[in-house]
Amino acid sequence: MADGREILYFDADPGVPRTADPGVPRTADSGVPRTATDTRDLPQTRTHSQRRFDPLLGEWVVIASHRQTRTFLPPADLCPLCPSTPDRATEIPESDYQVAVFENRFPSLSTDHADFPATVEGSPETPLRDGYGRCEVVCFTSVHDSSFARLDPQRARLVLDVWAHRSAELAALDGVGQVYCFENHGEEIGVTLSHPHGQIYAYPFVTPRVARIAENVARYRNSHGGNLFGDLLAAERTAGLRVVAANEEWTAFVPPFARWPYEVQLYPNRRVADIPDLDGAQRDGFVALYLDVLRRFAHRFDDPMPYIASWNQAPTPNSGVPRDDWWLHLQLFSIRRAPGKLKYLAGSESGMNVFISDTTPETVAAELREVR
C-alpha cells in the first residue's frame, strides 16, 4: 500500500488468475501479475502504542491514543473498504475483490518497536512495554450493502480459509502469544465502518479470558481426568435443551452460564486447538451451521441483531500456555435483549465484572430454534 502496509488478496474462483492453492494469497512474488497500485499520497505508517501491566488484576492494558483519529461512520459513497474506482482511491487498490486482508491503518498493536522505560513514569509498580503485535482488517466481500449472513457458502468457506491462513502466519511471529479473529456487526456494537468486515489481532500476550479458561481446563484435568470443553459439549448434546442447531461436525448451543442476552457458542464435535487445525469436513460443517445461526440472529427480531463473533483459539506454541486440552470454539453474542432494548454493561458488569442476565439460556435457545 502507499504507506508501506501489506495487503493480501484471496479468491476461490477458478476463472480468476491466482496461485495454485486457493488458500494462498496473491502477492507480488506469487507469479501472478498485479496491476492495481495504491495511488494515494499517504505518509509512511509509524504507530507506537504501548501496553501497561495492571499489577492489581495481573492484566495488560493497551494504550493506543492515535486511534482517536480513525474513520467514523462514513457514507457509503466514501467507504474506505469498497474497491477503488478511477475517481476515488480506497484502502483496496483493486477494482473488485473476493476477500481482502490488510494491515489496519489505525492499529492497536504494531510490529514497529519503540523504546520505552521499564515502568510508567511515577509508577514503578506498573511495567511498561511497547505495543508490539499486528492488527489486520478482513473484508468479506466487495459488496457494501451485504453481511456475513448473506454470503453464499463458497464465500463463507473462503473467509474461514483466510482466518486459518492468517492465524497460522501470525502465530508464527516471534513474540505473539495469541491470535484473535473477530467480527463486530451493527452500529450499536460500536462499528465505525458498515462494510462487511472483521479483524484479526495478534497479541504479544495471552488475553485474560483465554488465560483464565486455560487455568480452569488444566485444573479440571487434574481433578477429573477429563477435558472440560469436551464434557461441557457432551452434556449439551445429550440434554439438547439449549442446543440451537447441529450437524455431524458442529454443535451450536446457548451455554447454561450465558452472560449475554443472546449468546450461542459453536463447537466442533471433534477437538482441534485452532482454526488452522480444522480439516475440510469440519470447515464445510462450520460454514453450514454458522450461516444458519447468523440468519436466526438476523430474524429473531424485526431488525437484525447487532453481534460480536469471537473466535477462541488456543494460545500460540510460543506463549508458554498449554494447548493440549484446548478446544476451538466461536462465541456469538448480542447486546440486544428485546425489541428496541439493549443490554448495557452498568455497575455490576463494568465495575465488578459480574454479569447479570436479563434472559434465560433455555428460553433463548427455544426462541432461536423456532426462527426460520
Q: Where are the alpha helices (DSSP H) in 172-260?
A: 208-224, 228-239
Per-residue DSSP letters for 81-109?
TSBPBTTB--SB-SS--SEEEEE-SS-SS
Question: 48, 197, 224, 329: which is the annotated catalytic residue?
Answer: 197
Q: What is the CA radius of gyration of the chain?
A: 21
Is residue 197 annotated as part of the catalytic site, yes or no?
yes
Which CB contacts under 8 angstroms, 24+ apart, belong to 168-175? 168/276, 170/134, 170/136, 170/200, 170/202, 171/202, 171/274, 171/316, 171/317, 171/318, 173/111, 173/134, 173/202, 174/318, 175/132, 175/133, 175/204, 175/318
Residues 6+ apart with CB under 8 A from 273: 313, 314, 323, 326, 327, 328
Point out the residues that are catalytic. Answer: 197
